Each structure stands twice: as C-alpha cells, then as structure tokens.
Chains A and B, each alone.
Chain A
Amino acid sequence: MILLLAIAIGTLFAGAVYLMLRRSVVKLILGLVLLSHGVNLLIFTMGDGVRRAGLPIVDSSTGIAEPGTTDPLVQALILTAIVISFGLTAFIMALAYRATQAVQSDDLDDMAHTDRL
C-alpha cells in the first residue's frame, strides 16, 4: 500500500517539476497543481501507518474507535492543505491572467522584464 503511494508521489513530483521548468506560464500553474497533489499525498504517508479500512469516525454513543482506524490527524492537516493550495492556485491564476494581459505574452521570459515598463 505504501509502495503505491510512494510511486504516486514520485510521479506527481516529477511531473510537477518538469512542468514548472517550462517557459509557459500556464504550464507553471499546472505544475503547481500537480505539486500540491504530491505534497498532500506526502502528508498522508506521515501518519500512524497507511490503512485501507477504518474511517476515522468514532461510535457516536460510546466515543470509542474501532481498532485499525486510520489516522485522523493527517487527514485534518491535508484538508487544510488542500484548501490553502487551492487559494494559492487561484491567486496565481489571477496573477497570470493579469500578467499575460499586461505583457501580451504567456512566456515567462517576457515577464521577467516588466520592471522596465
């Protein structure tokens, strides 16, 4: 199970890095989206073991968790991370939108010289 996650994380990071090294601003954003997926899964591996079964929900009357319940803390952390990375992505999209309009190009190299404007 951990092997599956590790492969998923590796491919996500590799794809993210390749896209972020491109000159197109759109590919940079796509790379960031993939990177956040990779990071979220990475947090997932840091919990109290990775299991298939056992939703982190306790018995609503006794408050006792069944043995083998998955780690709720990493899930909470990832939930926060998903939302924050979405906020970041949305902001970068808006930034890219404005920058593309201002420079009339989607080439990041053209944007490097906007200070001269």
Chain B
Amino acid sequence: MLLLIVLFAFATSPMGLLARREPRVLAGWGLAILPLIIFAALCAQIPVITDGGSIVEAIPWVPAMGLELRFSLDGLSLLFALIISGIGTLIVGYAGAYMEKDVGLGRFLVYMLLFMGAMLGLVLAGNVLTMFVFWELTSVTSYLLIGYKHDYPDARRGAQQSLLVTGFGGLALLVGLLLLGAAAQQVGVPVNQAYNLDAMLAAGDQIKQTALYGPALWLIFLGAFTKSAQFPFHFWLPGAMQAPTPASAFLHSATMVKAGVYLLARLAPGLGETPLWNYTLISVGGFTFVFGAIVAFRQNDIKALLAYTTLSQLGGLVLMIGLGGKYGSEALVTLILAHALYKSALFMTAGIIDHETGTRDLNRLGGLRHTMPVTMAIVTVALLSQMGIPILLGFVAKEWALKAALESTLPAPWPTLGLMAVLLAALGYIVAAWRLFKQSFLGAPTPELLTRHVHDPKPAMLLSPAIPALLSLLLPLGLLPAVSSLLSPAAAAVYGERFSFELYLYKEVNLALLLSLGAIALGTLLATQEQRLAAHRVIATVSGAELFDHFIDRMLALATWMTRTLQSGRMRTYILYSLLSFLLFVGLPFLAYGLDEMRIPYDAELQFHEIVVVSLIPVGIIATIMARSRLGAIIAVSSVGAMVSLLFVLFSAADLALTQLLIEVLSTVFLLFLFSVLPARFRSFSPAWVRWRDAGIAILFGMLMTGLVLATAPSTMFPPLAPYFLENSLAGGKGANVVNVILVDFRGLDTMGEITVLFIALLSIYGLLRFRTQRNALPLSGNEQQRPLPGATSNGSHAAPVPTAGSSREEA
C-alpha cells in the first residue's frame, strides 16, 4: 500500500509531459487526478490511524548494513502525506492555469510530480536511511524547480544556493544518522534493525547515554536546520522564490521546507527531552521565528514577504518541538496544518496578482479591491488566519502555541523566551499582513495598472487558493472535532505516547486567550504605524545571502589557486606529486608497521655470477642517466634489459627470458629510429639542485620499493595458485609447458586483451605517423572523399560521387 503510493507517484510523473500541448489548463487539472488518487488512498487509511493503529511495510535491501526499504504510516506521517497530496492536487491544477502560455509546463509538472513522490517517500519512510534517500531527492527536485527559468541568472543563483546549502545539510544529516545507527548498535540493537526508526526510538533512552549522541544530534540539527531554513541557514529560502509560483507554494511553504521539522518531530519521542535538544531548538527556532517576522514586513516583493513569514513560521514549528510536552506537540501539528492551508493560499494568490498585474512589487500595486474582489476575499481570509484572528484556524493554532510555552515544564528562562518569541512573531505577522493587504488592495491603482485590463482570473485558477482559504475558515466552525481526531495521533507520534486532545475556539478566559487578544490589539496599533516602522532602520538588513555569496566566491578563488598551482601543465610536476603522495601515504605507514615485517633470508646457494648480474643493473642505470649522447643512453638502457633477461634465465623462466630479449632488440631498433630525428646530444635542462632533489626522491622511492618487496614477498595470505596449474596443465590444457598453457588456455582472455592492446597501440602509432603526411599534403580538405576510384585516373582533387555512380553503371 505505502510502497505502492510512492511507486505510483514516481511512475506516473512522466505523465506530466502531457501538459506540453494546449489546452494546458485542462491538462493541469487532468493531471491533478494523480495526486488526488494518492490523497484518496491516504484518506482511506484515516480510520486505521485514528484508531491508534499504524501500517508498516518493509522490504530488505542490504540487511547486513541495516539498509531496508521500510515504509510506515502513523499519525504524523499521515498528516504530512495528506497535506502533500492534498495541496499537491490543488497546485498541479493551479499550475496548468498559471503557466498556460508556458511551453515548458510539461517539464515543470514532471519535476513537481517527482518532487511529490520524493516528499511522500520521505514522510512515509520508516527507516532513516530510506528517509535520507528521499531527503536528497527532494533537494535535487527542488533544485530543478527553482532553476526552472534557467535563462535568468537570478534563478540559477537561487537554485545553486539552495542546492549547496541543503546538499551540505544532507551530508551532515547522513553522517549524523550513521552515528545514530552506530550508537543504536552500541546499546544492543541488532545491525539489521539499527536504522529502523521504531527500533531506534525505542532504544532512545540508552542512545542518549552514549558518547555518540551529542555529535550525532548536532549533525542531524545541521541537516534539519538547512532544510527548514533556520537561522543562520535561512537565506536560501528567499532566494528559492525564483521558482515559478506553483513550486514556491508547494515546496517552499507547504511541504519541503517542513521536512526538517518533520525529521525533528519524528526523532523527538526517542531522542528529545535532553537539555541539548530542548535548548538548541528553542534558541534557534525562537530566533528564526522572530527574525523572519520582523524582516518580513520590510519586503516589497510579495513573494519575498511570504518567504520570510514562512521561515519565521518554520522557526515557530522548531520552537514547538523544543518546548515539547503534550501542548508542544499539539501546537506543532495544529500549526503545521494551519500554516499549510493559509500559506499555500497566499502563495497562489500572490501568483494570481503577479499573473494579472505583471508585478509583485508592493509599491507598484494598489487599488485592486475594485478589479479583483474574489482574489481579495481569498487573501483576506488567508491573512486573517496568518494573523491569528479569532474564529480562524490560525487563531486556534496560535493559542495552542502560547499554551505550549505557558505550560512548559522546562526550567526558568526557556518557557518565557518561547512565549516572547510567539508574541513578537504574532506582532510581526499582523504588521506584515496589513502591509501586504494595504499595498495591494487599498489606495488608488497606479497608472501602470490602469493601462492594463486587470481582473479576477478564471475559476480554474481561483479554485486552488480558494479551497485552503475556505478550509481555514470552515474547519474551526464546526469541524474541530474531526480535525482533532486527525491531529491527535499525529501529536501522539511526536509526544511518544498515545493521547488525544480536543481543539476548541473558546472555552474559558485564560492567560493564553488574553495574551493572544492583547497581541492582536498591539499588532493592530503597530500596523497603523507600519510606514514609520519600515522607515526605522534599527532592524538589520543583513540577510545572510551576501555572506554566502562571499563564501562561495572565496571557495572558487581557492579552487582556482589550487588549480593554477597544482595543474602546472608540466608532466614532471604531476609525477612529482604522485611520487611524494606515495612516499607519504605508503612510506610513512611502512616505517611504522612494515620495518618489522622485513626479513632477509639467508641464501646458502648464492652464486657469484648472480651478484654480477644484479650489480650490473645499477651500473647500466647510472650509465643511462649520465650518458651525454643518445646512442650511449640507448646502449646503456639495452644493457639493463639484457641483465633483466639474464635474471629470468637464472630464475628458470625460459619463456620470459626469450620474450624479454626479443622485445629488447625491437625496443632498441625503435629507439634508434626515434633518436634519428632528435639532436644527437642531451641538453642539460634542470639546475643542479633540482637534479639532486630528484635523485633524493628517486633513491628514497627505490629504497621503499626494496623494503616493500622484502616485507611482502613471503606472502602467506592466500594459498598459492601454482599447484592447480601444474596439476591440470596436461589434463586440462593438453600441454606440458605450463606457462604456454596458461597463456593460451587457462587465461586465454588475458592474452586476448593483450592482443587487443597491441592492436590498438599499432593503430594509434599508424595514425600518429600518418598524420604528418596528411597534414602536409592535404591541409584541410576531407581526405576520405579522395580515394582514387578503381580504374579512374586521379586527375581532380575532388572525385565526386557522381562519376562513381556513372562508372559503375557503365561497368554494369
């Protein structure tokens, strides 16, 4: 079932290409059926989950490494999956209308559907490694979506930023998860269960005691904070607004950015409730909560404004996880639902305004209340929910957030800090919402807008934002029991124990309600002063993006410098680097471990002529190095080859000696041929100190090789293969010369490869030597066409195909 859902999402994604052609509006809504099917399939599971059950499906993948394809559905993943597929349905339909004139819509929808599959896989995963795979897939698809308009530099920059930031976080997350798995194994979880989420969380209390818990948690925080755009990794989210609006509405408000929150919520019951966990999340989440809300209302771009409120809201979610407890988890899931509804509606209406007026700049909009009344109604409802005005879902969620802070059992300053953050952010939201509303709908339309025929879009486009906006309004009015029963298992999954709770609009006058209403009053007051606030430049404008760009520039400069230094274009420098690395990484370990392994066996049969042969090798080498004339060098190097052949004779390798001698003769002939075109004497290129340095490196290298041979030669690691070949040579290969039998029979494929290598070398040499004559004789014209025809006199430079045909016909 779950696996099927994920597979279905991926398998049907190519169908997005259907939207390449007109009518795209129809194609969009037609394709919206795909997420709708998933949504319906998930809805069918609601009763199972609300009854306290869960669904688990597992396919072993690499059990020895704890890798399995495991999917599980509980309250939390159901809530996320419903949001993903539900909003996905609306977005796909909306995209068809929004990008009606865009020929790339097909490609765009493929990316969107792929992303949806990845996101569903992420929230349904029951194994952290499975989850990680989908986590990375969401980063990749998000990159494709942000960079959709790849001919705009800003889009490319935004896409690159988000990929680098979330990719970096993903790597940190992977290491964190592996550490966590290692910790789980330390406390006795079997390997094949170590990455299973349930097993991991069940062993959570012991894992917290291990030394790995701290580092693992920090790395996981890095992953979650980058993905969910927490300060100081927040800057990529506003940059990601370069994506087409449907993608922004889907990925960067409702779903993907909540992946980090999801991960934290998932791990909370097992790994939470430690000082490190609570205080880090409260500080980071609380700060992002306030920071985003304050920066938001200074924005002029509608999408940027929404992006900052989104990252603020993500901070709020992280804060709720940090506060923990029953109220914390209740507030978390309520906020997730409320935010997904109103923020997707706001993004889609922002897209509509952009689509109809041609701008998203708040300073160039105005007076849309006359021309776009339906849009205004949707925006109003969504904004009211964001502000947390009574009877909307946002109000309920905010009250629960306040309660989470008030009822928190954490030590002194933390609950108060959380409360302050919730209240400050609420104020910021009201100001930001008011500014958005006032600038776009009130006042007089700018002259630019008057020249355009601005109007409400067609219903195909309005439907999508209308539904979530309407839900924000209708859910609190009568459907709260149903919502509560859906959210209860989700909150229970975050809390770690089964419990249920009831959302309500109004129960009694208490501190949370008073604070909430007070914040609204104060926020309204501030909103009237919005112009002055915006002009007040106390609020820092450092968005972090410049810092990031600077960092990337420095990285590129470093890379350029390294390339210039290392890639000198000189062969010998490269060889030198290789040699030095070898000396470092093989030489040092050899000094540490290999010296004891070296043994020099006593050889009673040592003969004088053997010593002569071996000592002639260095003599030949030194002669080669010292030779001033090329002929001398050839003679010297040939003498070394001859000594090697003699060594083979001494060691009963008759075939080798023969071959070596033959090759030596051939090589000498070739060398003589080569040297015939070169000046007869060597020039001295390098200064003396370079030669001495190289000599030092060479001697060190030679000594290391000698040492390695002495340390490894009496190898007993594996049983020798020789007896097999000796026994089977005659029986299996019908030959008494075992070396020959091995070459042509046992390892015949090796010989085949050898022949291929020789043949390719031959072809290359032929090509190299022929190249000159071609270039000299026929500089530019195509040589292939100039083959002389049989019987034809080669008179013209262009033997055209026509005479060929003619002559062959005559012959026929």
CB within 8 Å of B: which residues of A? 1-15, 17-24, 26-30, 33-34, 37-38, 40-42, 44-60, 62-63, 65, 69-73, 75-80, 82-84, 86-91, 93-98, 100-101, 106-109, 112-113
Contacts and interface: CB of A to CB of B under 8 A. Distances in A.
A43 B742 CA distance: 16
Contact of A76 (B695, B739, B765): B739
Contacts of B706: 6-7, 9-10
B677 A101 contact: yes
Contacts of A77: 750
A16 to B, nearest CB: 8
- Chain B residues touching A, range: 35 or more
Interface of A is mostly: helix
Contacts of B738: 56-58, 65, 72
Contact of B625 (A18, A29, A84, A101): A18
Contact of A82 (B660, B678, B703, B769): B660
Nearest to B762: A87
Contact of A75 (B570, B653, B667, B702): B653
A108 B576 CA distance: 14
Contacts of A41: 644, 647
Q: Which of A6, A19, A78 has the most CB of B within 10 A?
A: A6
B540 interface: no
A51 B720 CA distance: 14
A42 to B, nearest CB: 7
A31 to B, nearest CB: 9
Interface string B680-724: 001101100000001101110111011001101111000011110
Contact of B702 (A17, A65, A95, A106): A17
Given A9-B705, A95-B768, A97-B769, A83 B605 contact: no
B715 A8 contact: no
Contacts of A1: 601, 603, 605-606, 610
A84 B758 contact: yes
Given A38-B705, A82-B660, A55 B761 contact: no
Interface string B26-44: 0000000000000000000
Given A17-B697, A88-B761, A106-B678, 20 more contacts: A2-B710, A13-B705, A15-B622, A22-B572, A26-B630, A27-B633, A37-B640, A41-B647, A44-B651, A48-B721, A48-B722, A50-B713, A51-B652, A60-B736, A63-B731, A79-B655, A80-B754, A84-B758, A87-B761, A97-B677
B15 interface: no
A61 to B, nearest CB: 8
Interface in B532-578: 568-572, 575-576
Q: Which of B683, B703, B706, B743 has the most CB of A within 10 A?
A: B706
Interface of B: 568-572, 575-576, 579, 600-601, 603, 605-606, 610-611, 614, 617-618, 621-622, 624-625, 630, 633, 637, 640-641, 644, 647, 650-656, 659-660, 663, 666-667, 670-671, 673-675, 677-679, 682-683, 685-686, 694-695, 697-699, 701-703, 705-706, 709-710, 712-715, 720-723, 725-727, 729-731, 736-739, 742-743, 747, 750-751, 754, 757-758, 761-762, 764-765, 768-769, 771-772
A37 B641 contact: yes
Contact of B730 (A2, A11, A58, A97): A58
Nearest to B755: A83
A112 B726 CA distance: 50
Nearest to B693: A21
Contacts, number: 291
B654 to A, nearest CB: 6
A13 B652 CA distance: 23
A80 B713 CA distance: 21
A28 B571 contact: yes
Interface of B is mostly: helix
8 contacts: A27-B682, A29-B671, A37-B641, A41-B647, A45-B713, A72-B738, A109-B685, A112-B568
Contacts of A20: 572, 575
B90 to A, nearest CB: 55
Given A45-B709, A52-B605, A72 B722 contact: yes
A47 B713 CA distance: 8
Instruction: List 7 A-B pairs, minimum CB-CB distance, nearest first.
Output: A14-B702, A63-B730, A10-B706, A15-B621, A48-B720, A18-B698, A87-B761
Contacts of A94: 764-765, 768-769
Contacts of B757: 84, 87-88
Given A37-B640, A58-B736, A4 B610 contact: yes
A70 B709 contact: no
Contacts of A83: 659, 663, 754, 758
Nearest to A99: B768
A34 B686 contact: no
B475 to A, nearest CB: 67
Contact of A2 (B709, B725, B764, B771): B709
Q: Which of A15, A24, A42 has the most CB of B within 10 A?
A: A15
Contact of A21 (B697, B710, B772): B697
Given A55-B654, A112-B571, A69 B726 contact: yes
Nearest to A38: B705
Contacts of A56: 652-653, 726, 737-739
B570 A109 contact: yes
Contact of B678 (A26, A54, A87): A26
Contact of B725 (A52, A72, A90): A72
Contacts of B736: 57-60, 63
A87 B52 CA distance: 73
Contacts of B677: 97, 100-101
Contacts of A47: 720, 722
B271 to A, nearest CB: 51
Nearest to B724: A73
A65 to B, nearest CB: 4
Contacts of B703: 10, 14
A40 B605 contact: no
B628 to A, nearest CB: 12
A87 B666 CA distance: 11
A26 B579 CA distance: 20
A80 B743 contact: yes
Given A40-B644, A72-B742, A80-B754, A12 B617 contact: yes
Nearest to A98: B768
Q: Which of B611, B673, B722, B747 has the most CB of A within 10 A?
A: B722
A17 B651 CA distance: 26
Nearest to A89: B667
Nearest to B775: A102
A64 B729 CA distance: 9
A9 B702 CA distance: 8
Contacts of B743: 76, 79-80
Contacts of A33: 637, 641, 667
B765 A52 contact: no
B571 A34 contact: no
A96 B568 CA distance: 20
Contact of A12 (B621, B625, B633): B621
Contacts of B715: 46
Nearest to B719: A48
A34 B570 contact: no
A37 to B, nearest CB: 5
Given A11-B617, A70-B653, A72-B725, A98 B772 contact: yes
A106 B685 CA distance: 11
A1 B601 CA distance: 8
